Structure 1
């Protein structure tokens, strides 16, 4: 690890973040969709995270899957102490944290899920090599690694903007643009406008810098090391370690934004050369970042997404609005998803309920294939959420709201709570005190009175309903 990177992590606190893209329930689905046949289910597996920081990403997964084993590694002693304290306060006995330099750490046992989020592009080359070496060494026979990294050619403009923003922020002659990299980025976004494709791209990048803010930017765009790589090169390096590309961690990222369906049809023959196909998609879409899945080259893979594989999943309504369809069986299925939202149910149960509603017209073989085929395509577009197991979320708040032990600790420590879908939830200053009071000992009306006194602008019962819809209160 070079001195600049050591100094950054020694003197600065990495922001507390959970990363929904690394939720092992979704990683399991994406790996199965990529053909990985015997990947252990999240409920009984071994998980390793490289660069776990204070444990904000790994701890909620350990709380959700008490029969699985979790290990987190990080260079920062301070972050590891913080993670261990959180696991102790939450009563989690299936997770351990180690302060370790990846260049010298040696694994003691294989893992089924390896997570390296926000590591590869932000460490020196020798550590990059070590990360890929570890993936090749520590994965179980049917394990999967999720690695995030910046990609070319999409990252090129951003890498050129970073030194410019720094230079402007440090130049007295540019004081009118702002006195920080965030304010300079905001000024550039305003000046760029959107009259051309280039200007719109500059504007989007600068606004993203502003959104990340002073807590994230030093570890991301403005980190001492912030490299990008062509996908084909990354896949080649992985191949040298006995790893095979499976697909992206999010199903919908296999079809990146900005490319027309017609283009996908024309590119279909490139499926025989998936690396070249993916590199072409990166060029056409301008994608700047990937969260890619890799397995061992000798892992057993299935060909294609079969009806049987889809039936292993649980499903719920996705975030993307899908166009209407003429199929009656698909229409009934979609109606059912709306009724159970925001929960996810086992696919077998959803199909059986759909069959019951269709009645005598249900033909198991024909309608089953039609439905599961549509489900997979809809999931790739983001219109359906697929998970490894059902997710039950109450549609109403309880009389005495209660957070999990882990989220109570997060709230009391001023850290973001994490919802049932692994999204971090930040609230205005002071609201964490309300969250920390939700331990099941106070009635909702009592909490509402407290909220009215301290936060008169807060519609407490509406806020509580929002927390319930996200699975934060039990």
Structure 2
């Protein structure tokens, strides 16, 4: 999976980056790294349990797969995507539906279908759906190679958005081919398919590390280790070996960086990600070539490039364009060599779609804007700095951008429309509409603002009887995290916040909530709980967990 971006309920500074005329200092990463995979999606569904039946793979909501995100990227490239509120979505390799079920809850007029080879995760997902009373989603156990004809599939049908997250690079070649054939056959004329995969050249490094972990697991004494123990033993061996190299050795530094990331992941995730029988990372050029054989074409990635991406270096881009000409994929491949890119989230459309390679500015008039930023201390005099989700920090010194940020930070977790952005920028001296659109594009690239084409039913104030989403309350009962109304993952490390969330069914006022907290947490003083109640309700509001 991709490193998940979440909001923690429990600042870094970086280089100066310039995007167009707007200058930022930024701690945003230059490359993306991912590590999610799925069980092999082909095989006899009556066969013995898959490894995903034996060892559970943690499921989360992935914002980059949401129809809102896919529709934004399609619109920015001149296409007319299906309306998010009433769209049809298919997820191939959906596991227990942790990504799909929150979407179905958020979008009651849309339709969702998901299937997976592993039966037990599907059963867990079906139980969740039943508890929530959702009627716009169905999950079924199915073999990718036979999904269209499986009785449970209902014939599949046509979909506006297809999601294939963490499957492509982890299955044999015939399954990869069938996967793209399925996408092509069932994607609507103006549909968008999301396919994530581990990419080259960056994954060469990961493969070297993976080989050591796999070797250790295969040579476990007496093969007595359990799956999670095998993964841990592989990391221990890797750490032992790398310490034999000099501290200044580049290979040691690279390996230690990867090892640090691996140790932050759970043993269950390590088992599935690092000990799988198939690992086939692919270059973007090879992936798009494969997609084209099935009548699909490259649209873009699921997110805009970050500000310090090589694509924003004019001297480099001039040289690369001389080599690539009008070949967008060749340009992306050369940039991946510069990025040492390890992971991609590629969007595909039907080949006949008229993709516009230069981002369309006029389409911003139809979009909505949001920002999760909070104020931070500036690094230079006259610069306003902002903390962004994930511990990132950006700043700028231009009045129109600062005015836009102040409006959006006040409005969060709601969005504002284009006209409000235009008027705010005009008040600070930016009156040309073309310049306003350029500014908004630059701010989106800098991750200061988000672009949306729809807004969920998210609360903007804490009501007398606050109500959290049923899907988040359901998740909080069994996990220290929950999906919010913007399809992000909110970490619930504070037990009081997690307990409070579960109480917010819309039937209790603040006094009744306090009384229930005193019962649930008797070890804490009544005054302490009283002081914390309003603050924690505000935190849940800001985390987009409360419904309007």
| TM-score interval for Structure 1 and Structure 2 normalised by the shorter chain | 0.7 to 0.9
Q: Give the whole-Å Cα distance in 2 for the aligned partners of 1:73 and 1:378.
A: 37
How many residue pairs match? The answer is: 461
Deviation at 1:2, TM superposition (A): 6.0
* 1:237 lines up with 2:290 in the alignment: yes
Residue 283, structure 1, aligned to residue 337, structure 2? yes
SS of equivalent residue, structure 2 residue 274? coil
> Is the 8 Å Cα contact of residues 199 and 283 (structure 2) preserved in structure 1?
yes
CA drift of 1:92 comes to 1.4
1:469 aligns with 2:542: yes
TM-score, with structure 1 as normaliser:
0.86
Task: Structure 1: state its 5+ residue gaps.
Answer: 173-177
How far 1:148 sits from its partner (Å)?
0.5
Residue 352 of structure 1 deviates from its aligned partner by 3.6
1:49 deviates by 0.4
Contact 1:343 1:390 in 2 (8 A): yes
Cα distance change, pair 424–180 in 1 and its aligned pair in 2 (3 A) = farther
CA distance in 2, matches of 1:277, 1:436: 49
Quote the Cα distance in structure 2 between the aligned partners of 1:229 and 1:429: 40
**Structure 1 equivalent of residue 108 of structure 2:** 66
Residue 261 of structure 2 aligns to a residue whose secondary structure is helix
The residue number in structure 2 matching 1:175 is none
Provide the residue aligned with 2:70 in structure 1: 27
Change (3 A) 1:116 1:251: same
Pick from 85, 94, 109 the counterpart of residue 52 of structure 1.
94
CA contact (8 A) 1:112 1:142 kept: yes
Question: How far apart in 1 are the matches of 2:214 and 2:348?
Answer: 36
Change (3 A) 1:72 1:242: same
| CA apart distance, 1:30 | 1.4
**Alignment pair present for 1:211 and 2:264:** yes
**Deviation of the 1:303 alpha carbon:** 5.5
Contact 2:115 2:141 in 1 (8 A): yes
Distance change (3 Å), C-alpha of 1:194 and 1:20: farther
Summarize the Cα distance change of 1:118–1:193 in structure 2 as closer, same or farther, 3 Å threshold: farther
- Counterpart of 1:92 in structure 2 is 134
Does 2:464 match 1:416? no
| 1:157 partnered with 2:205 | yes
Q: Superposed, which structure 2 residues align to 1:67-82 within 5 Å? A: 67-82=109-124
Tell me the distance in 1 between the aligned counterparts of 2:356 and 2:311: 27
Show structure 2 runs of 5+ residues with no match. 1-41, 149-154, 222-230, 373-387
Indicate the residue corresponding to 1:252 in structure 2: 305
Q: What is the CA-CA distance between 1:12 and the residue it aligns to?
A: 2.2
Q: 1:227 to 1:343 in 2, by over 3 A?
A: same
Partner SS for 1:229? coil
Kept in 1, the 8 Å contact 2:74–2:80? The answer is no
Q: Is the 8 A contact 1:80 1:99 kept in 2?
A: yes
Q: 1:308 corresponds to which residue?
A: 362
- Quote the residue 1:199 is aligned against: 252
Secondary structure at the counterpart of residue 163 of structure 1:
helix
Q: Give the C-alpha shift of residue 161 in structure 1.
A: 0.7
Name the counterpart of 1:345: 416
What per-residue deviation string (whole Å, max 9, x for no partner) do you get for residues 315-347 of structure 1?
Answer: 122636444254x54443333233323432222
> What root-mean-square deviation, in Å, do the aligned CA atoms of Structure 1 and Structure 2 show?
3.2
Partner SS for 1:152: coil
Match of 1:111 among 131, 135, 159: 159
* 1:418 shift after superposition: 0.4
Highest RCO, 1 vs 2 (Cα 8 Å, sep ≥ 6): 2
Q: C-alpha displacement at 1:6, in angstroms?
A: 6.1
Judging changes above 3 Å, is the alpha-carbon distance between structure 1 residues 260 and 312 closer, same or farther for their aligned structure 2 residues?
closer
2:207 is equivalent to residue 134 of structure 1: no
Q: 2:503 aligns with which of 418, 428, 437?
A: 437
Residue in 1 that maps onto 2:469: 404
Q: Deviations over 1:48-91 (max 9, x none)?
A: 00011111101111111111111111112222222122122112
Inter-partner Cα distance in structure 2 for 1:281 and 1:81: 42
Q: Distance in 1 between matches of 2:244 and 2:60?
A: 31
Post-superposition offset of 1:452 = 4.0
Determine if contact 2:198/2:344 at 8 Å carries over to the other structure: yes
Q: 1:244 to 1:179 in 2, by over 3 A?
A: closer
2:313 to 245, 261, 284: 261
Please state how far the C-alpha of 1:117 moved relative to its aligned partner.
0.3
Contact 1:46 1:69 in 2 (8 A): yes
Distance in 2 (alpha carbons) for counterparts of 1:25 and 1:193: 48
Distance 1:329 1:7, change over 3 A: closer
Q: Is the 8 A contact 2:53 2:121 kept in 1?
A: no
- Once structures 1 and 2 are overlaid, which stretch shifts more, 139-148 or 456-465? 456-465
Deviations 1:114-148 (A, max 9, x none): 00001111222221111111111111110000000
What is the CA distance between 1:445 and its match in structure 2? 2.1
Deviates more, 1:368-377 or 1:295-304: 295-304
Rounded Cα–Cα distance in structure 2 between residues aligned with 1:451 and 1:323: 42
- Kept after mapping to 2: 8 A contact 1:122/1:226: yes
Once the two structures are TM-superposed, the CA of residue 196 in structure 1 deviates from its matched residue by 5.3
Correspondence for 2:352: 298
| 2:438 matches 1:373 | yes
In 1, the alpha carbon distance for the partners of 2:520 and 2:64 equals 33
**Alignment of 1:388 onto 2:461:** no
Q: Which moved more, 1:392-401 or 1:51-60?
A: 392-401
- For residues 293-333 of structure 1, what are the alpha-carbon distances to aligned partners after superposition, in whole Å with 9 as ceiling and x for unaligned? 0000012334533332111211122636444254x544433
Relative to the length of structure 2, the TM-score reads 0.75
